[in-house]
């Protein structure tokens, strides 16, 4: 009896008073829940039971991801997805509601496919890359936890839920960057990533709370209703501030200036992790979140969008310049990721969320491919990451080189590759805004072609520059197969059938743009690639030495100095103040009183702690007693 | 035996335990047994408690001093059920955790049981006299535990705590007596429910309310380590044996918060109004000033001590935001539970690290995760719980508190209200706590090993694994289903609020 009331109470806790009927539970509505929770179950079961059964852990994690992928395909195929019933997570009637609800619309459908598709390939690839790693089970638990958290962000139907998964993504990223925790640098990088992200989250939470207290809801569907938006827009400065604070969350997660410093360091993690989390999906979560909340940005005053635009553009320019002088293959790609993320953020600022989302999807595929290719090179060269110790790998690793070339061309925006289409959209958005922005965007594209040309030439062409490079061999099938599969979307994801889907969710017509866009694009490719060829073909060492770029504009140095010179001393000062000033005033004063009391009591020849404590209680009781008998 | 004695049973059990130990039964066994029964009873109490009307249930009264209307009155509302649950869970963990002690185990476990009994007694008392006295009963063994079985500079730490908490309790006592004696003789009673019902104190002149509230705030506040009355806490917790730190920081300290929620705030609404802004300033200092002081610590035990002071800022914020409805105090209640469990877990882990490694200095440790992977795993969970990661109970609590702060701010005029600033500052704490917790975790467990462990050191033993799992599972349970707590607590807070018409 008690059990049934208890269980119905517990059900009521999550579902509210009317319990779910059969009508709510059919296969279709179960799909998103399956996609979301399969990786969680995998993460939990690996952590609790499968630490010692490594192969089984790998199998469980891969199948969970495959299940999510199948569910994502199912969701994509089903037309007119029914509304889903949210679960109560925290509900105080009349005061506060935060629920776990899933929102299925074209935006989340596409993102689901991108995340689970790339996720699945990287799960498989990792089986080869991490074959001999002792912590393989822990690694796969981390990957599954990441899939769960990322899918939570994609499916969230309200800001609170998105924030929950936003934080969880941070944790899974922490555990995966710090996978080789015995290395100080990996442990440091993991900590840095988490803390820098938390700086962004501070603003994000503040922004969400501002929206919540003004609109009374943070459910996207209700928040984006025209009445609510009009109500919010009535206080433009308030709304603008809230939007910028929410944007600050994206600055952290998508590693924009000034919070970009964690991403290059995050390359300390295993390369498949860099591909999945720090190139394709997690870092794009900030862009996704901005696209999701685009109606708010639109309703906010001009300064919000302008800020977003310029933050993105600055990041993009600085990161592209830094990328030209990096010698670590993963770091080149990391700065390139920063630069491309800046592009996407900029597109949101240009009121072109469609372009941002489009570039996010194409970039996710080709950047994941680039990282996996880099991973194959690093793996076959016994963990050599310096590009000047590579060279001539085209003949030794033809599959890797070929797929890498496809991805490089896509990133450059070469026609026929997916990147061409999405960059075209960005250019079009930029030219509508102002010439300055447009020419900056074109300049970044030229820089992109330059550093990618440099990378490909130095790594795959020329002669081998080290013993490892001259003895390299093609990667095993479990690693090269994902490369080959990823080449398909790298080429084709820009074509019309995907585009059609994008137009659904924003109802924006695809405008025809001036010829100048195409011409500028080609010029950028020609310029960048030409310079790279002239400078780097058949070179033994880098002819350019630009300290400013190589040392990353000294931003990291500045932060290190800031932490050492300001933050730590401030903390020390507070600790010191606490110990000496507050103690001196309060305690030493008290100690004086105690000393006097002690002196008096010593006359009574009692001096141990127990007796004092008893006297204290006794004294209190006496006072009370005297008052009572008054 | 009627059901209404259930709360009494919960605090009689550990008292009976002390008696059994005194009579010569095996102390550790008795301690675990009686607190285990306590935990069973408190879960039963939670299930038996009727959620929907809320309010005080299981009320049991024996008149003691009829002239002053002092009676031995026990009973629980939702908040009381929650506090008793917390007490018994942390008690079991504290009794069962290893290493225990070698010297004078009888007295040791008697002291620990007395803390549990005192805390449970205070949380189930509905009479101010017993509410206060039970807490005093629990304080004395805390000082003994620090003074006799403590580490490092234990005598100074014990002294400091004794003076601070002694003076704090004394101020509190004066405040309580002043409150009751400023009422007209016919309205005078020590019965909390009666005071809430008659609203007699709320009609006191605002000046009277104001200075009485100040006394109560200082009294309760120094028990909960409100800045600047916190200096006792870090050193006391650093020196205390692990179970004592678990019980005091996890459970007993929350007495002051219960007092604010159940007594000071609802009974003296005008007083609370007057001191609202100073309280906001102090709680911000708790978060940022103590937070930064926490960052500067170089030793795990002191760092945990400071961090538990820092986290109290959030709990005060929830209470301060009561003006905007139940959300704030409900958040505080959730945090009481969450912080109690997580800080007990952290102190338990610190105790085990100390016994295994021999030091808690960050500069001397490192890379422990290779040798002690399970301990590292539990520590990472505890650290993430304590920095308010979703999935653990701390997150919903903090979310509610921050949201309540914003609600309280929106109630006023446009522009930036004091509450906006308070929430903004308190949110900084989320960042600060991430900094020190991850620093601590990193320098203890990650990187290269700096210290050579004795060859016989093994990863955490089965008994401790169970203890840590118990606390972790509880944290996860209430993190995934915070509705369990809010459904229990919200109606009671609503009732307390409507009794006395909170500000």
Strands (E), B17-123: 57-65, 70-76
CA distance B367 to B117: 40
Q: Between A353-380 and A496-506, two packed helices, what is the crossing angle to 10 degrees?
A: 130
Give B4-29 as a 3 state SS string. Answer: HHHHHHHHHHHHHHHHHHHHCCCHHH
Average confidence (pLDDT) per 10 residues, chain A, 630 residues: 58 59 64 93 92 90 95 86 85 88 89 93 91 90 95 94 94 93 90 92 94 91 90 90 94 91 90 89 93 93 93 94 90 93 94 89 92 91 87 88 94 88 86 89 93 92 82 85 90 69 47 73 89 84 77 77 75 74 59 59 52 61 56
Query: Residue A629 has what DSSP assignment?
Result: T
pLDDT given at position A510: 47
Q: Is the pLDDT of residue B500 over 50?
A: no
Nearest Cα to Cα of residue B242 among B157, B351, B152: B351
Taking CA atoms, A3 is separated from A564, B46, B89, B152, in Å, by 58, 14, 22, 50
Put simply, whether the predicted model's pTM sits higher than 0.80 gets the answer yes
User: Cα A266 to chain center, whole Å?
Assistant: 11
Nearest Cα to Cα of residue B302 among B293, B313, B311: B293
CA distance A417 to A422: 10
CA distance A353 to A370: 25
CA distance A562 to A569: 10
Q: Are strands B70-76 and B57-65 parallel, antiparallel or unpaired?
A: antiparallel
Taking CA atoms, A610 is separated from A298, A602, B140, B141, B159, in Å, by 69, 14, 8, 9, 11
Q: Is the pLDDT of residue B127 over 60?
A: yes
Note whether A367 and A411 are within 8 A (CB): yes
User: Cα B465 to chain center, whole Å?
Assistant: 23
pLDDT given at position A619: 63
DSSP B384-435: HHHTT-TTSTHHHHHHHHHHHHHHHHHTS-SS--HHHHHHHHHHHHHHHHHH
Q: What is the mean pLDDT of residues B169-177?
A: 92
What does the domain layout of chain B look like in residue ranges?
Answer: 275-503
CA distance A237 to chain B (A): 10
Tally of CB atoms within 10 A around B86: 25
CA distance A201 to B271: 36
Contacts for B417-420: CB closer than 8 Å, 24+ residues apart? B418/B277, B418/B280, B419/B280, B419/B321
CA distance A209 to chain B (A): 6
pLDDT given at position A81: 78
> Taking CB atoms and an 8 Å limit, are A96 and B389 in contact across chains?
no
Nearest Cα to Cα of residue B293 among B203, B230, B356, B224: B230
Q: Is the pLDDT of residue B20 over 70?
A: yes
pLDDT given at position A94: 82
> Percent of chain B at pLDDT above 70?
97
> Taking CB atoms and an 8 Å limit, are B155 and A617 in contact across chains?
no
A-proximal residues of B, 41-80, CB under 8 Å = 47, 51, 65, 67-68, 70
In the three-class reduction of DSSP (H, G, I as helix; E, B as strand; rest coil), residue A98 is classed as strand
Contacts of residue A626, defined as CB under 8 A and 6 or more positions apart, other chains included, come to none
CA distance B233 to B246: 13
pLDDT given at position A13: 63
Chain B residues in contact with A594 by the CB 8 A cut-off are 159, 163
B87 falls in which pLDDT band (50, 70, 90)?
very high
A-proximal residues of B, 99-158, CB under 8 Å = 129, 133, 136-137, 139-140, 143-144, 147, 155, 158
CA distance A81 to chain B (A): 27
Taking CA atoms, A63 is separated from A277, A437, B409, in Å, by 19, 45, 49
Chain B residues in contact with A8 by the CB 8 A cut-off are none
Q: Is the pLDDT of residue B252 over 50?
A: yes
CA distance B229 to B110: 29
Q: Is the pLDDT of residue B499 over 70?
A: no
pLDDT given at position A576: 75
Q: What angle do CA B22, B24, B27 make, to 5 degrees?
A: 80
B68 φψ region: left (φ > 0), alpha (ψ -120 to 50), beta (else):
alpha
> Taking CB atoms and an 8 Å limit, are A92 and B484 in contact across chains?
no
Half-sphere exposure of A196 (CA within 13 A, CB side): 29
pLDDT given at position A507: 40
CA distance A129 to chain B (A): 22
Q: What length does chain B have?
A: 503
Is B330 at the interface with chain A, CB within 8 A? Answer: yes
ipTM: 0.93
CA distance B374 to B379: 8
Taking CA atoms, A332 is separated from A431, B124, B314, in Å, by 28, 63, 43
Chain B residues in contact with A624 by the CB 8 A cut-off are 129, 173, 177
Out of A462-466, B191-195, B299-303, which region has the weakest mean confidence (pLDDT)?
A462-466
CA distance A255 to A286: 9
For B393, the closest chain A residue by CA position comes to A90
> Percent of chain B at pLDDT above 90?
57
> Taking CB atoms and an 8 Å limit, are A90 and B482 in contact across chains?
yes
> Taking CB atoms and an 8 Å limit, are A578 and B289 in contact across chains?
yes
Strands (E), B13-119: 57-65, 70-76
Query: Residue A260 has what DSSP assignment?
Result: T
CA distance A300 to A232: 8
Average per-residue pLDDT for chain B:
89
Is B457 at the interface with chain A, CB within 8 A? Answer: no
Is B278 at the interface with chain A, CB within 8 A? Answer: no
CA distance B440 to chain A (A): 11
pLDDT given at position B503: 39
Residue B106 token pair: 């009888």
């Amino acid at each position: 009896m008690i059990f049934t009331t208890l269980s119905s109470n517990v059900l009521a806790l999550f579902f509210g008073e009317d319990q779910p009927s059969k009508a709510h539970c059919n296969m279709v509505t179960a799909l998103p829940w399956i996609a979301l929770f399969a990786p969680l179950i995998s993460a939990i079961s690996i952590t609790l039971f499968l630490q010692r059964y490594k192969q089984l852990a790998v199998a469980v994690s891969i199948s969970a991801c495959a299940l999510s992928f199948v569910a994502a395909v199912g969701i994509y195929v089903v037309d007119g997805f029914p509304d889903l019933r949210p679960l109560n997570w925290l509900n105080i009637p009349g005061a506060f509601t935060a629920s776990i609800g899933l929102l299925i619309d074209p935006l989340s459908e596409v993102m689901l496919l991108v995340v689970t598709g790339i996720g699945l390939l990287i799960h498989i690839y990792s089986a080869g890359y991490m074959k001999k790693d002792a912590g393989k089970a822990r690694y796969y638990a981390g990957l599954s936890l990441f899939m769960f958290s990322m899918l939570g962000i994609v499916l969230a139907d309200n800001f609170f839920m998105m924030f929950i998964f936003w934080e969880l993504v941070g944790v899974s990223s922490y555990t995966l960057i710090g996978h080789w925790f015995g290395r100080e640098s990996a442990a440091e990088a993991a900590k840095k990533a988490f803390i820098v992200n938390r700086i962004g989250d501070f603003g994000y939470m503040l922004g969400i709370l501002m929206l919540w207290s003004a609109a009374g809801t943070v459910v996207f569907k209700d928040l984006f209703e025209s009445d609510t938006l009009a109500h919010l827009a009535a206080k433009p400065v308030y709304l603008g501030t809230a939007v910028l604070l929410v944007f600050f969350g994206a600055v952290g997660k998508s590693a924009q200036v000034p919070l970009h410093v964690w991403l290059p360091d995050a390359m300390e993690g295993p390369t498949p992790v860099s591909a999945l989390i720090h190139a394709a999906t997690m870092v794009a979560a900030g862009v996704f979140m901005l696209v999701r909340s685009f109606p708010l940005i639109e309703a906010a005053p001009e300064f919000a969008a302008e800020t977003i635009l310029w933050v993105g553009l600055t990041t993009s320019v600085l990161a592209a310049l830094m990328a030209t002088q990096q010698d670590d293959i993963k770091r080149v790609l990391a700065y390139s990721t920063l630069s491309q993320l800046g592009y996407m953020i900029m597109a949101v600022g240009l009121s072109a969320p469609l372009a941002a989302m489009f570039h996010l999807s194409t970039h996710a595929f080709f950047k994941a491919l680039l990282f996996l290719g880099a991973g194959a090179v690093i793996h076959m060269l016994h963990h050599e990451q310096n590009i000047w110790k590579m060279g001539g790998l085209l003949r030794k690793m033809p599959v890797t080189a070929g797929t890498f070339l496809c991805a490089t061309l896509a990133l450059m925006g070469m026609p026929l590759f997916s990147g061409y289409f999405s960059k075209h959209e960005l250019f079009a958005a930029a030219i509508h805004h102002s010439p300055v922005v447009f020419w900056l965007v074109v300049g970044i594209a030229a820089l992109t072609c330059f550093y990618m040309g440099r990378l490909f030439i130095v790594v795959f062409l020329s002669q081998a520059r080290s013993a490892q490079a001259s003895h390299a061999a093609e990667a095993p099938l479990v690693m090269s197969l994902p490369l080959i599969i990823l080449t398909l979307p790298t080429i084709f994801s820009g074509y019309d059938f995907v585009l059609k889907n994008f137009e659904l969710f924003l109802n924006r017509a695809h405008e025809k743009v001036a010829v100048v866009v195409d011409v500028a694009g080609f010029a950028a490719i020609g310029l960048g690639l030409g310079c790279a060829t002239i400078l780097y073909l058949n070179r033994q060492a880098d002819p350019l030495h630009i300290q400013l770029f190589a040392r990353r504009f000294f931003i990291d140095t500045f932060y290190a100095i800031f932490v050492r010179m300001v933050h730590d001393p401030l903390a020390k000062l507070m600790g010191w103040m606490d110990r000496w000033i507050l103690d001196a005033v309060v305690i030493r004063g008290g100690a004086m009183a105690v000393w006097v009391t002690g002196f008096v009591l010593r006359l009574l020849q009692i001096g141990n702690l127990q007796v004092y404590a008893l006297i204290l209680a006794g004294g209190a009781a006496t006072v009370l007693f005297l008052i009572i008998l008054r | 035996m009627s059901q209404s004695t259930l709360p009494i049973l919960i605090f009689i059990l550990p008292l009976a335990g002390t008696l059994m130990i005194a009579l010569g039964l095996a102390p550790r066994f008795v301690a675990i047994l009686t607190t285990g029964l306590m935990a069973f009873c408190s879960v039963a109490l939670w299930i038996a408690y009727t959620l929907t009307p809320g309010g005080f249930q299981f009320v049991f009264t024996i008149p003691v001093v009829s002239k002053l209307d002092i009676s031995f009155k026990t009973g629980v509302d939702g908040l009381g059920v929650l506090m008793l649950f917390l007490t018994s869970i942390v008690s079991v963990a504290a009794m069962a955790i290893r290493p225990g002690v070698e010297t004078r185990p009888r007295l040791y476990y008697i002291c620990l049981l007395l803390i549990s009994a005192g805390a449970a007694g205070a949380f189930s008392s509905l009479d101010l006299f017993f509410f206060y006295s039970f807490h005093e009963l629990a304080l004395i063994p805390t000082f003994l535990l620090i003074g006799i079985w403590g580490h490092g500079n234990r005598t100074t730490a014990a002294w400091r705590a004794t003076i601070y908490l002694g003076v704090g309790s004394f101020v509190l006592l004066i405040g309580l007596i002043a409150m009751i004696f400023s009422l007209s003789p016919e309205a005078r009673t020590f019965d909390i429910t009666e005071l809430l019902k008659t609203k007699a104190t709320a009609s006191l002149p605002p000046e009277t309310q104001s200075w009485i509230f100040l006394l109560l705030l200082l009294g309760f506040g120094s028990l909960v380590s409100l800045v600047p009355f916190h200096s006792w806490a870090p050193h006391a917790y650093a020196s205390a044996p692990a179970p004592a730190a678990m019980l005091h920081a996890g459970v007993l300290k929350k007495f002051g918060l219960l007092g604010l929620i159940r007594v000071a705030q609802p009974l003296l609404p005008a007083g609370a109004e007057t001191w609202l802004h100073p309280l906001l300033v102090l709680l911000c200092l708790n978060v940022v000033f103590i937070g930064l002081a926490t960052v500067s610590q170089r030793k795990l035990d002191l760092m945990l001590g400071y961090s538990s002071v820092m986290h109290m800022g959030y709990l005060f914020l929830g209470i301060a935001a009561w003006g905007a409805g139940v959300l704030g105090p409900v958040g505080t209640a959730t945090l009481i539970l969450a912080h109690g469990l997580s800080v007990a877990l952290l102190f338990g882990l610190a105790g085990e690290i100390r016994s295994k490694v021999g030091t808690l200095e960050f500069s001397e440790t490192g890379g422990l995760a290779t040798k002690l992977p399970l301990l590292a795993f539990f520590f990472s969970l505890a650290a993430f719980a304590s920095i308010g990661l979703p999935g653990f109970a701390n997150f919903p609590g903090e979310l509610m508190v921050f949201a309540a702060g914003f609600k309280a701010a929106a109630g006023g005029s446009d522009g930036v209200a004091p509450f906006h600033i308070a929430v903004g500052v308190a949110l900084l704490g989320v960042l600060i706590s991430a900094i020190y917790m991850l620093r601590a975790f990193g320098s203890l467990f990650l990187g290269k090993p700096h210290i050579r462990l004795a060859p016989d050191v093994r990863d955490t033993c089965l008994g401790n694994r169970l203890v840590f799992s118990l606390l972790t599972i509880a944290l996860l349970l209430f993190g995934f289903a915070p509705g369990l707590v809010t459904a229990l607590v919200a109606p009671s807070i609503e009732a307390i609020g409507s009794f006395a018409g909170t500000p």
